Amino acid sequence: MISSAKSSACFAEAKKYIPGGVNSPVRAFRSVGLDPRFIRKGKGSRIYDIDGNEYIDYVCSWGPCILGHAYPPVINAVKEVCENGLTFGAPTERETELARLIIEAVPAIDRVRLVSSGTEAVMSAIRVARGFTKRNKIIKFTGNYHGHSDGLLVKAGSGLLTESIPDSGGVPEGYVAYTLLADYNNEDSVKALFDAEKDDIAALIVEPVAANMGVVPPKPGFLEFLRDITEKNGSLLIFDEVITGFRLSYGGAGEYFGVKPDMVTLGKIVGGGMPLAAYGGRADVMGVIAPEGPVYQAGTLSGNPVAVTAGIETLKALKDNKELYESIDRKAAVLEKAFRDSGRTVNRVGSLLSAFFTDKEVTNYATALSSDTKAFASYFGRMLEEGIYVAPSQFEAMFVSAAHTDEDIERTAKAIQVCAK
Ligand code: KE4
């Protein structure tokens, strides 16, 4: 048994001051029945907790750390830019540089706004879609998670699934009246909503690869179907690429699948581990945003120079080393095979994967929910004992980074074959 005495003591102390002892629910390890590990440091593929334990990390801060922890070019650039001050609330040249990098990388983005979190990016994109179309309703999919803005906390994934609170408290009925629910990979469920509401659907938002009910790939043709039905009905298609952006390829899921949405939300990797996210899309759609147009969105730290610097250095590293995508995909395939050889259901797209403790093929919310979360909790605990840190939830993804070595992958595959049976 590896010691977690210091983490447990810190967790008890934290709970005196912070609800649940954490600043984001899924970190609390509640669904796996353990005390969370308090992390002291990360370097490359490793994280180290305050009890001195070392782990191979596949959470990667829920996706941002595609280059591994403390990637030197990012750290050095951030250190340097901090010397000039942290924030001005005024435009800086670096914001334009990052905006240009994003627009060059993501086919669907003609113009982009920088914000501070994925939640803020999605909330803003939804408002822009409503402002542009002058329609009210939004379609989302059960099990998709788009951050914690009120209107989207309806049958959402990620921590809401993990904690079995699919509809958050504190959200008045009226706030979700315009949120319509469809079933992922189920074209008929989408058609039915358009048949019933077509003249008032502003947008359909989708995780092009669902990763908040565990990883659930779009079935062949599903994204093309969504592109077609939204276009036919004058609604906007929004790809929530907070996870898939710069992850599936340098151009994200849009490039990976060859489907061009009207808007894209980005987070995680785009900020290189700092609080930075973005939303963008067609020039005409983005033209409604204040001060050019009537749709308001603002932020004290939007485009913060330090966060923007981390984002620029991260995207430059990815842009100059695109072969890393093939490498991390190949490494993830080794883990996928280890899970399959252990009898697990596995979904993988690129370097994103999830193993499920169910005999069903996991293609949507209902089949994801058929997973045995107690069996997952036992697997999680055994992996932690092996020094492998995966997400403390059946309904999250495993992320492979460029820092994971072949030895890391081999050791992890061996641990999977012991722990995931
Ligand atoms: P943030 O507000 O957490 O930066 O991003 C919200 C968000 C939006 N869209 C997608 C597809 C997302 O996955 C997320 C956030 N992802 C979760 C993990 N699956 C963040 C982890 C957490 O909540 O602590």
Average pLDDT over residues 259-275: 98
Record the tokens describing residue 246, joined without a space. Answer: 């710069």
Residue to mutate, 22, 146, 244, ligand 1, most ligand atoms under 8 Å from C-beta: 146
Query: What span, in angstroms and rounded, lies between the C-alpha atoms of 264 and 86?
Result: 28
- Answer yes or no: do 49 and 175 share one domain: no
Q: Which of 303, 320, 337 represents a domain boundary (last residue)?
A: 320
Average pLDDT over residues 117-124: 98
- Answer yes or no: do 240 and 111 share one domain: yes
- Answer yes or no: do 175 and 313 share one domain: yes
What's the pLDDT at 253?
98
Q: At residue 78, what are phi and psi to the nearest 5 degrees?
A: -65, -45
Q: Where are the beta strands (DSSP E) in 6-71?
A: 39-43, 46-49, 54-57
The DSSP H or E segment spanning 418 is helix 406-419
Dump pLDDT digits (tens) for 90-105. Answer: 999 999 999 999 999 9
Of 326 and 3, the structure prediction assigns the larger pLDDT to 326
Instruction: State the distance from the centre of ligand 1 to the C-alpha of 97, rounded, in angstroms.
Output: 25
Domain span at residue 53 reads: 5-70+323-419
Per DSSP, the three-state class of 165 is coil
Of 145, 184, 279, 365, catalytic: 145
Of 325, 316, 320, nearest to 249 by C-alpha is 325
- Answer yes or no: do 152 and 250 share one domain: yes
Q: Which of 292, 320, 348 represents a domain boundary (last residue)?
A: 320
**pLDDT grade for 363, boundaries at 50, 70 and 90:** very high
Q: Which atom of ligand 1 is nearest to the CA of 268?
A: 4
- Answer yes or no: do 44 and 151 share one domain: no
Domain at 336, CATH number? 3.90.1150.10
Instruction: State the distance from the centre of ligand 1 to the C-alpha of 147, rounded, in angstroms.
Output: 5
Instruction: State the distance from the centre of ligand 1 to the C-alpha of 84, rounded, in angstroms.
Output: 30
Contacts of 91 (CB under 8 A, 6+ apart): 303
Q: In 10 A of CB 184, how many CB atoms?
A: 27
Residue to mutate, 243, 274, 353, ligand 1, most ligand atoms under 8 Å from C-beta: 243
Pinpoint the alpha helices (H) of 237-304.
Answer: 252-257, 283-286
Q: Which atom of ligand 1 is nearest to the CA of 62?
A: 18
Instruction: Give me the number of domains the chain comprises.
Output: 2
Dump pLDDT digits (tens) for 130-146. Answer: 999 999 999 999 999 99
DSSP state of 288: T
- Answer yes or no: do 24 and 84 share one domain: no
Residue 107 has pLDDT above 70, yes or no: yes
Instruction: State the distance from the centre of ligand 1 to the C-alpha of 62, rounded, in angstroms.
Output: 8
Establish whether 262 is a catalytic residue. no
Residue to mutate, 119, 158, 270, ligand 1, most ligand atoms under 8 Å from C-beta: 158
- Answer yes or no: do 88 and 233 share one domain: yes
DSSP state of 364: S
Pocket of ligand 1 (CB under 6 A): 24, 26, 62, 117-119, 122, 145-147, 158-159, 207, 212, 240, 242-243, 267, 277, 396
What's the pLDDT at 82?
98
Dump pLDDT digits (tens) for 50-87. Answer: 999 999 999 999 999 999 999 999 999 999 999 999 99
Percentage of the chain exceeding pLDDT 90 = 94
Q: Which atom of ligand 1 is nearest to the CA of 244?
A: 11
Q: Which atom of ligand 1 is nearest to the CA of 212?
A: 19
- Answer yes or no: do 145 and 46 share one domain: no
